[in-house]
């Protein structure tokens, strides 16, 4: 009897060994995590689709062409998507095979999207259960990049963020209280290990020097050397043409390339450098979104450009006439002088900004007072109302802005003086004295700050609740809500700053010295 029990143990061990040999030791792990590490390829495209908002209305049309457009060399490319969808904005069954609400991971394959689990990095995302991730939380972005790099290893990585954007923040999430992600939040949470070779911001109004400086190479955390971004509101590229051209497809191969000239060229993934990849994206946009403005930016130049801005700020702080001169170059209200990307500007000729009064009036200055860097610097460099040292700084800004702008285009219908390869990136120059419902614009723009403003905003809310104050009128509430959508911690505002009370060291401190939150608190 004892020998039979011993033989039964041996027999079960033998069966287990045969099973492992036939099926493979990774099977149990794959069953648990629903994903296996894929072979290393030339490129992995990491697409972060933060659609828990009304942008979901357009995602089907935007993403569906990916499936049917892959060229003959897809073996060198991984394309993985994290997709977060809101309820009530449309049907996605023709894209993903079924409608759903919540957060899923998909892998692009020829003619289909394959649903995947999140492995040991995003274990809450499986192929069978419903998950609602906060895609406005930078931790979700961080974990998805980690997931993609672990399970889809590659020589190069491109990150595409597809959602709404508005300069200082992006990716609003309705299921999490309309939370948003701020650009400094990305560098606070992500590390250098999540850095990518190319970042494509399929978001409105993100081409700012403040954003580029935040994510520049060498910042000690998440970074990227190349960015594709738009200064005004914008639309998505044709992803079908994009995936076709980076997998040696022949779609539109006889069409003219509006960026580099000649006919459009397709590439095998292993032939793509980050700059060639970015050029393909921009040439696509020059055709599909030609009435807007887009650019490819070498943001490694952002540090030198910031130093030139800070030089202008220091010299301006020492000149009693500088404020009036620079504000005249900027313009005011609906009478702007420098080329602008204020919300709605892409719909109107920049020489006639009377539309601001109908579009939202002076409130447009709050969301992002966006002035073109090259145009502003050109005007400073040519001005007779500023000092020689300020003109010198203006010339430096002009040169460095052009060097950072690898390619750019902008509709001459909306920006009559737009120069390709020069214009297309903006900076923040607010009208800080502007008053809205009795409140100063500078005081409402708490997102534009060197400080971590989140704790102070929470304290403000608690104080108001403790005092039992009555609810302000709806028009005032909208402004207060905007004020509370803030994060602060802009590297643009922090770096180069002098200690408080010791003068101006950077552009942000110049704005503070003119419009002063602290002296008005």
**Together in a domain, 383 and 282:** no
The answer to whether residue 433 sits within a structural domain is yes
In a domain, 404, yes or no: yes
Residue 157 lies in a domain: yes
Same domain, 135 and 176: yes
Eight-class DSSP state of 292:
S
Q: Are 197 and 228 in contact (CB under 8 A)?
A: no
pTM score of the predicted model: 0.88
The radius of gyration of the chain's CA atoms, rounded to the nearest angstrom, is: 26
Longest dimension (CA), the chain: 107
Please indicate, yes or no, whether residues 317 and 198 belong to a single structural domain of this protein.
Answer: no
| Strand 198-202, strand 226-230: pairing | parallel
What does the pLDDT read at residue 220?
93
Domain that holds residue 368: 304-520
- The residue with tokens 């030609």 is 290
Is residue 360 domain-shared with residue 447, that is, in the same domain?
yes
> Could you report how far apart the first and last alpha carbons of the chain are, in Å?
89
Pick out the chain residues at pLDDT < 70: 1-33, 334, 343-368, 455-485, 517-521
Cite the beta strand spans of 86-129 per DSSP E. 102-109, 112-116
Dist CA 215 CA 218 (whole Å)? 9
How many domains does the chain contain in total? 2
Residues 253 and 334 in one domain: no
Cβ–Cβ under 8 Å, residues 42 and 154: yes
Do residues 230 and 207 lie in contact, with contact meaning Cβ atoms separated by under 8 Å? yes
CATH number of the domain where residue 124 is located: 3.40.50.11970
415 and 276 together in one domain: no
Q: Give bridge partners of residue 170 from the DSSP assignment.
A: 165, 181
Task: Indicate the length of the chain as a whole number.
Answer: 521
Q: What is the pLDDT of residue 88?
A: 85
Claim to verify: residue 419 and residue 511 sit in the same structural domain: yes
Q: Are residues 130 and 182 in the same domain?
A: yes
Q: What is the pLDDT of residues 34-87, one digit of tens each?
A: 789 999 999 999 999 999 999 888 888 899 999 888 888 888 999 999 999 998
In-domain check, residue 215: no
Phi, psi of 474 (to 5 degrees): -60, -35
Taken in order 489, 490, 491, 496, the sign of the CA dihedral is negative
In a domain, 299, yes or no: no
The closest of 83, 117, 123 to 99, measured between CA atoms, is: 83
Distance separating alpha carbons of residues 160 and 277, to the nearest angstrom: 12
Is 23 contained in some domain? no
CB 181 within 8 A of CB 169: yes
Examine residue 274 and state whether it is found in any structural domain, yes or no: yes
Instruction: Provide the CA 269 distance to its chain's centre, in angstroms.
Output: 24
Distances (CA, A) of 4 to 1, 277, 429: 5, 67, 86
355 and 504 share a domain? yes
Let me know whether 345 and 482 are in one domain: yes
356 and 258: one domain?
A: no
Query: Is residue 220 a part of any domain in this protein?
Result: no
φ, ψ for residue 106 (rounded to 5)? -130, 150
Q: Are 50 and 90 in the same domain?
A: yes
């Amino acid at each position: 009897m004892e020998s039979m029990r011993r033989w039964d143990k041996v027999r079960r061990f033998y069966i287990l060994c045969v099973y492992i040999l036939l099926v493979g030791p990774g099977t149990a792990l794959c069953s648990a995590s629903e994903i296996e590490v894929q072979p290393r390829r030339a490129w992995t495209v990491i697409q972060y689709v933060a659609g828990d908002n009304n942008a979901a209305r357009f995602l089907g049309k935007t993403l569906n062409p990916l499936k049917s457009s892959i060229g003959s060399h897809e073996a060198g490319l991984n394309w993985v998507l994290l997709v977060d969808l809101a309820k009530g904005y449309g049907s996605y069954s023709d894209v993903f095979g079924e409608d759903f609400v919540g957060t899923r991971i998909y892998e692009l394959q020829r003619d289909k999207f394959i649903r995947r689990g999140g492995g040991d990095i995003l274990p809450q995302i499986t192929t069978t259960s419903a998950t609602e991730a906060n895609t406005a939380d930078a931790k979700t972005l961080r974990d998805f990049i980690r997931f993609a790099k672990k399970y889809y290893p590659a020589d190069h990585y491109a990150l595409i963020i597809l959602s709404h954007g508005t300069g200082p923040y992006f990716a609003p999430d309705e299921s999490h209280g309309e939370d948003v992600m701020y650009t400094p939040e990305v560098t606070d949470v992500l590390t250098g290990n999540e850095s990518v070779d190319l970042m494509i911001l399929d978001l409105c109004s993100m081409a700012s020097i403040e954003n580029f400086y935040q994510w520049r190479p060498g910042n000690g955390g998440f970074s990227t050397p190349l960015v594709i971004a738009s200064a005004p509101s914008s639309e998505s590229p044709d992803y079908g043409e994009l995936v076709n051209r980076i997998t040696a497809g022949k779609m539109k191969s006889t069409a003219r390339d509006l960026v580099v000239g000649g006919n459009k060229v397709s590439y095998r993934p292993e032939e793509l450098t980050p700059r060639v990849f970015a050029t393909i994206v921009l040439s696509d946009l020059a055709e599909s979104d030609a009435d807007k403005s887009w650019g490819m930016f070498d943001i490694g130049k952002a540090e030198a450009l910031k130093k030139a801005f800070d030089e202008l700020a220091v010299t301006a702080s020492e000149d009693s006439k500088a404020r009036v001169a620079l504000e005249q170059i900027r313009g005011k209200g609906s009478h702007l002088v420098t080329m602008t990307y204020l919300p709605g500007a892409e719909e109107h000729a920049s020489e006639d900004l009377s539309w601001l009064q109908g579009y939202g009036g002076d409130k447009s200055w709050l969301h992002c007072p966006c002035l073109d860097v090259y145009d502003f610097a050109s005007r400073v460099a040519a001005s007779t109302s500023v000092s020689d040292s300020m003109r010198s700084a203006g010339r430096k800004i002009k040169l460095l802005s052009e060097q950072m702008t690898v390619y750019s285009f902008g509709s001459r219908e909306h920006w009559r003086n737009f120069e390709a390869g020069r214009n297309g990136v903006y900076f923040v120059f607010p009208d800080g004295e502007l008053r809205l419902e009795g409140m100063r614009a500078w005081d409402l723009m708490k997102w534009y700050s060197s400080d971590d403003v989140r704790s102070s905003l929470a304290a403000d809310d608690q104080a108001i609740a403790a005092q039992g104050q009555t609810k302000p009128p709806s028009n005032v509430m909208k402004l207060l809500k905007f004020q509370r959508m803030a994060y602060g911690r802009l590297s643009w505002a922090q770096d180069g700053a002098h200690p408080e009370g010791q003068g101006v060291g950077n552009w942000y401190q110049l704005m503070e010295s003119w419009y002063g939150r602290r002296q008005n608190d």
